[in-house]
Amino acid sequence: MKVVKIVLFVLCVFIAFVLGSQNPQSVQVNYLIASAQLPLAALISVCFVIGLLVGCFVSFRVFSKLKWQNYRLQRRNTKLARDSNNDIGPEPATDKDG
């Protein structure tokens, strides 16, 4: 797993280098109340980072909900297993005097 992370990191750095070297043009970015002149590579990088952060936030919310649901279900399963083990006991003695 650690190797995969390193490979992905190196791949992202390589892609960023390629984008930066192939897009040196300046572009004008208009905000709601202002505008700025930025290199295209910087604009692409900023949009990528914003998308990455939004994706991480959404994934964190989804995974935290699933982990909480898993925790509750495991507790419920443990309680049901404990209750079913308590219900199973020695059979009651029957009187066979007949």
pLDDT (0 to 100) of residue 72: 93
The residue whose two tokens read 């308590």 is: 86
Q: What is d(CA 7, CA 30) in angstroms, rounded to the nearest whole number?
A: 36
Cβ neighbour number for residue 38 with a 10 Å cutoff: 15
In tens, the pLDDT along 1-55 reads: 788 888 888 888 788 778 777 777 888 988 888 898 988 888 887 888 888 889 8
pTM for this structure?
Answer: 0.57
- Taking only Cα atoms into account, the Rg of the chain, rounded to an integer number of angstroms, comes to 30
Q: What is d(CA 2, CA 29) in angstroms, rounded to the nearest whole number?
A: 38
In tens, the pLDDT along 85-95 reads: 776 655 666 66
Residue 30 near residue 43 (C-beta atoms within 8 A): no
In tens, the pLDDT along 63-84 reads: 889 999 999 999 999 988 888 8
